[in-house]
Amino acid sequence: MTMPTAHIFLRLPILFIIFNLITTLIPSALCNDDARYTECRNTYDCGLLKNIIYPFWAANSRPQHCGREGYQLTCRDDQNTVIRIEDQDFLVLNISREVHTITIARVDLWDSPCPSRLVNTTLDYDRFAYVQAVRNLTLFYGCVPTNQSIANNFTCKIEGTQNDLAIYIDDSISSLTPGQNETFCPYNIRVPIMWTGVDRPPENYTVDVLKQVLKQGFRVEYYADWKLCGPCMLSNGTCGSNITTDSFLCFCGGQPYEETCPSSGDNSWSWKREVVVGAAAAAGIGILLCVIVCCIKSRKQTFMRTKSHQDLEVFIQNNGPLAVKRYKFSDIRKMTNSFKDKLGQGGYGDVYKGKLRDGCLVAVKVLNASKGNGEDFINEVASISRTSHVNVVTLLGYCFEGQKKALIYEFMPNGSLEKFIYKENSLKTTPHLELEKLFEIAIGIARGLEYLHRGCNIRILHFDKKPHNILLDDNFCPKISDFGLSKLCLKKESIMSMLDARGTIGYIAPEVFCRNFGGVSVKSDVYSYGMMILEVAGGRKNSDVQVSHTTDAFFPDWIYKHLEQGSSNLGLPNPMTQEENELARKMILVGLWCIQTKPSDRPSMSKVIEMLEGSIEALQIPPKPVLTTPIRTPAESESTTLSSLIC
């Protein structure tokens, strides 16, 4: 009976010291972060621009050491953001952190093409560079009028000039006409522009249109040690500079470093060791040092988050506040009434019905802690938070607390598309959708997909389009959802690299799992759309196990057989009116064009919309793809990455 008691008393000094370390020294150390680290970690707003980060800074909003020399912003009246480059003031219209570009416009030409001072546009080429799409517009002033008609002219009184006639010329696509050559114009300036949606300027542009073009501004890339800033952020630091030498610094919790912060273990070990040595010396018991170190290291290994969760937190923090709200998991529990009303489940989690404080109904997707390494969560938040389109589901918020991750979407009362097109999924309570409505849904999906490919500020490849991931609102307007497997890429990148295949068997383009067919691109999404629209038109899965084990089991093969036989109704089982037959035939022909084996043979989503909205007579029967019968697998319904299938 005495041994256990003695053992407890022997451990009391150790427990007492550890308790003091945790309750006094550790919290105080965590609170003593470098002030610059705390200041620069937060984003700031300037004018109408939100969530600005390195390398930009503003005198009254963000210290200079949080940015770089040459990137100071001036905030005017909560409306305008101004940057000064080579003694010229420019309005900052947009900042794109993903591709490191800003859109700027000259302040002196904002209200009128008649500046008070004639100065060419110049850049600090050590910090900025024009993007490829920028062109020069030359403005000529003080021109002497002639008897000939002069195109692209406007009236402009410049101090020191005798004549009010002015001319503008787009240098990249125009030159002076004979009439303009004969016109003597003693003064001119060059202004960078970006002609949006126009191949060449019309001959009779008014001065109002010229003002509009000048207000669109032009894009420039900015350079600020991105090769150093990226690793710094990944090491849980924040980017800044030494204002004395204008050199890069990575601000960390304890002190700044020239490149990256030390690993979390090394960074915390130094001060913990000093605390332990001091405590051991004060106590006078040398043996306690080893015991305390072992206890602290064991505790740290037990409770420290995994590398993937650290990377996920760094991503959320360093990308600044997103357009959607971040919730606590306790908020998720409240809005779902403790997960009472379950709407469905998938490979990556369960979906519950919930309600926000304002009464708005939502669908809450709670991700399984054991699934994936956080990449799917990052993909979904990063992708869908950048979108705003009637045919893309709206992300209202997200939750990230260690292993607990959730996404909050707008509630779709009619659920997913699959229950309206597959007979085996149809319930007696499910309303029947006419083919005309299904055709409208197909066009809506195409428009949403075209927006993801071309309408966003950065291109989004979905990689998992199928009826299960198309949600329908109360008016049966389709919404593309589930961006867990999506990829972001710059618009100038037509082909993207991938280390693994991703998607759902039966909807994956050939080039995704076998690079011999071509590169992965937006045409891979077109293939998935084609397979889906064939199922919508046929009212069955493309691979139907309930059909006999013949080629009829694969719907595209079955359709091609009826096309070769010249069947007018394509062998579809349900009786149709002439109008319904035309809509079904149109969807099937477009779907067959979309599933061509070679990506280059498939239409773009813009062309798909044009084909669906055009005349049926304009659609030709596409050639039969080299690959038609799909890869067989028992798990055709689950989205996944398919590394084993890559050629």
**pLDDT winner (highest mean) among 166-180, 418-432, 448-462:** 448-462
Average pLDDT in the chain? 78
Alpha helices in 319-462 (DSSP H): 329-335, 375-384, 418-421, 435-450
Q: Which CATH superfamily is domain 312-408 in?
A: Phosphorylase Kinase; domain 1 (3.30.200.20)
Catalytic residue list contains 464: yes
Query: Looking at 164-168, 170-174, 610-614, which range is the least confident one?
Result: 170-174
pLDDT at site 531: 92
**Residue 585 to residue 616: CA distance in whole angstroms:** 8
Residue type, 76: R
Annotated binding site: 365
pLDDT higher than 50, residue 9 = no
pLDDT at site 575: 66
User: Which residues touch 274 (CB under 8 Å, ≥6 apart)?
Assistant: none
Q: Which residue has the higher pLDDT, 605 or 197?
A: 605
pTM for the full predicted model: 0.52
Residue type, 348: Y
Annotated binding site for ATP: 365
Compute the average pLDDT of residues 38-52: 89
**Residue 326 to residue 167: CA distance in whole angstroms:** 53
**pLDDT winner (highest mean) among 121-130, 257-266, 300-309, 483-492:** 121-130
- pLDDT tens-digit series, residues 251-306: 998 888 988 898 754 444 344 445 544 555 666 676 777 777 777 766 654 444 45
**pLDDT winner (highest mean) among 118-127, 503-512, 638-647:** 118-127
Residues 459, 464, 467, 470: is their CA dihedral positive or negative? negative
Compute the average pLDDT of residues 507-528: 87
Would you call 273 helix, strand, or coil by DSSP? helix
Contact 537/588 with Cβ under 8 angstroms? yes
pLDDT higher than 70, residue 33 = no
Compute the average pLDDT of residues 33-59: 87
Contact 146/153 with Cβ under 8 angstroms? no
Residue type, 441: I
Measure Cα distances from 371 to 347, 377, 405, 471 in Å: 8, 10, 11, 23
Contact 644/562 with Cβ under 8 angstroms? no
Q: Between β-strands 487-489 and 502-503, what pairing exists: parallel, antiparallel or unpaired?
A: unpaired
226 phi and psi angles, rounded to 5 deg: -70, -25
Provide the pLDDT confidence category of residue 323 given band limits of 50, 70 and 90.
low
- pLDDT tens-digit series, residues 335-374: 999 999 998 877 678 899 999 999 999 999 998 875 555 6
pLDDT at site 253: 82
Percent share of the chain, pLDDT over 90: 28
Percent share of the chain, pLDDT over 70: 70
**418-645 maps to which CATH number?**
1.10.510.10
pLDDT higher than 50, residue 451 = yes
Q: Which one of the listed residues 170, 331, 376, 464 is annotated catalytic?
A: 464
Peptide bond into 55 cis (omega under 30): yes
- Residue holding tokens 């001060």? 271
pLDDT at site 25: 45
pLDDT higher than 80, residue 242 = yes
Alpha helices in 385-434 (DSSP H): 418-421
